[in-house]
Structure 1
Amino acid sequence: MTTLLCDADGTLFPSEEPAYAASAEVTNRFLAELGAERPFAPEELQAMTNGKNFRAAAQELARGYGRDLAGADLDAWVGQEKDVVTAHLRTVLRPDAAVRDPLRTLAGRFGLAAVTSSASSRLAACLEVTDLADLFDAARRFSAEDSLPVPTSKPDPAVYAFAGRELGVTPDEAVAVEDSINGALSAVAAGFPTIGTVQFVPGDDREARAEALREAGAAVVVSSWAEVVELLT
């Protein structure tokens, strides 16, 4: 094995809960325009769309209200949500030695790449404030929102397939690390062996998430990046 394909949100940093908290205001305005009768709490939105980017979530939510959202209208909502969430994550994320130190060890043996559903600008901001940017070269960051000819989101395997082609690695040469069900489904569908991680999953939810990751095809589930080092080195 030569390469480690790392999901970002919820895997490299604990961004999912604060991202949904910031996204909720935009999402609820969007839902109100669709005809929603009440606002949704961040945890409800996370349960509905975890592992998908806002573009895919918005399209799915719109279909639930009998709308087919695309084009400039969708792009405008995506842009609003991206700006709000990225600004918030810059204020709440911090460097974490429990992530950075194991990743530095892994970087000594494997090429690291980030494979995310989120926008490239959001990924760059999160890597910067968590002090991980130097471990993920810009050419080794892949976004389902920005890197592909047509934006998509996990569980579509397109972003993993694209990353493999760009890096010149086959499923025999790379392993994915994912925290979400949709992310694991994406990596597995692209053929990559997958490690599930629950490092940033709330304690009460860890057992259920671990089981769901196994059902999605993860070969093993770990609770820390230190365990990933033990598995791979």
Structure 2
Amino acid sequence: MSKYKCIIFDCDGVLVDSETIGGGVLVDMANSLGANLKFENTNKLFKGKSLEDCMGIISKEVSKPLPSSFELEYREKSFKAFKEGIQPINGIAEVLKKLKVPFCVASSGPESKIRLNLELTGLLPFFDSNIFSCYTIQKWKPEPDVFLWASETMGFKPNECLVIEDSISGVRAANAGGFDVFGYAEHDYNNELRFEATKTFNHMEELLGFL
């Protein structure tokens, strides 16, 4: 029997394949302001970072503050792009169907974005109200607060939970909160996760075997 009584999933890059889409919108918007970013570097630049941090990177690239409308424009453009192209991570629906312990999602994005992306990919019914957003508590990874909030609300201690993450900031947040964390490393372009995660894996079908 698994020692884990609850699984906490990150959303972007773990449940839904959204990071390349959202990052592509950021690259487009950055380049329209004078940056010269490459689409092939999207994940290396923005993966696992809060929108505020991404905006900071872009501001540095263009050597000026971003327009006050930047965040709203990004939300509008990215939501449109998600509706047109987002897909679930390969194999994740089968994993969720077979899990025999409670699970939830804890993500850096606004709850509206989490719900939209889960709905578009057919995953929302798996989570019901078990959705935890950093925006709600105004604390972002690598701070552990969103995972601590999720575990407490679900009724478990950190050492009874397993976090599934795909970014180094998420792995560090889980570690800081006292959680075991498995790194989903299929798109770990910087080869970072294996040094700090409890375990790494490259394909979702491997996860059930570990549990």
TM-score, scaled to structure 1: 0.78
Contiguous gaps of at least 5 residues in structure 1:
none
Structure 2 counterpart SS, 1:230: helix
| Counterpart position of 1:17 | 20
Shift of 1:78: 2.2
Aligned to 1:166: 153
1:159 is paired with a residue of what secondary structure?
A: helix
> Does structure 2 conserve the Cα–Cα contact (< 8 Å) formed by 1:115 and 1:141?
yes
Report how many residues are paired: 208
Could you tell me whether the CA contact under 8 Å between 2:35 and 2:58 is conserved in 1?
Answer: no
Aligned to 1:8: 11
**CA gap 1:121/1:173 in 2 versus in 1, 3 angstroms:** same
Asked if 1:218 is matched to 2:197, the reply is yes
Counterpart Cα distance in 2 of 1:117 and 1:170: 21
Residue 77 of structure 1: CA displacement? 2.5
TM-score by length of 2: 0.86
Query: Alpha carbons of 1:97 and 1:46: their partners in 2 closer, same or farther (altered >3 Å)?
Result: closer
Instruction: For residue 51 of structure 1, give the secondary structure of its aligned residue in structure 2.
Output: coil
**Paired amino acid for 2:136:** S
Shift of 1:42: 3.1
1:189 aligns with 2:176: yes
**Cα distance, 1:2 vs structure 2:** 1.7
Find out whether 1:124 has 2:115 as its counterpart.
yes
For residues 25-44 of structure 1, the aligned pairs below 5 Å read 25-29=28-32, 32=33, 38-44=35-41
1:147 counterpart = 2:136: yes
Distance 1:189 1:78 in 2: 29
Answer yes or no: is 1:81 the counterpart of 2:60. Answer: no
Residue in structure 1 matched with residue 52 of structure 2 by the alignment: 55
Consecutive aligned runs of 4 or more in structure 1 exceeding 6 Å deviation: 63-69
- Cα distance in 2, alignment partners of residues 194 and 142 from structure 1: 17
Distance 2:159 2:89 in 1: 30
CA deviations on 1:38-88 (whole Å, 9 max, x unpaired) are: 33223434323320121232245547888788xx93xx4222212211221
Residues 22 and 38 of structure 1: CA distance in aligned 2, closer, same or farther (over 3 Å) = closer
Aligned counterpart, 2:207: 228
> What percent of counterpart residues are identical?
23
Distance 1:117 1:213 in 2: 18
Paired position in structure 1 for 2:105: 114
Unaligned runs of 5+ in 2: none
Give the structure 2 partner of residue 101 of structure 1: 94
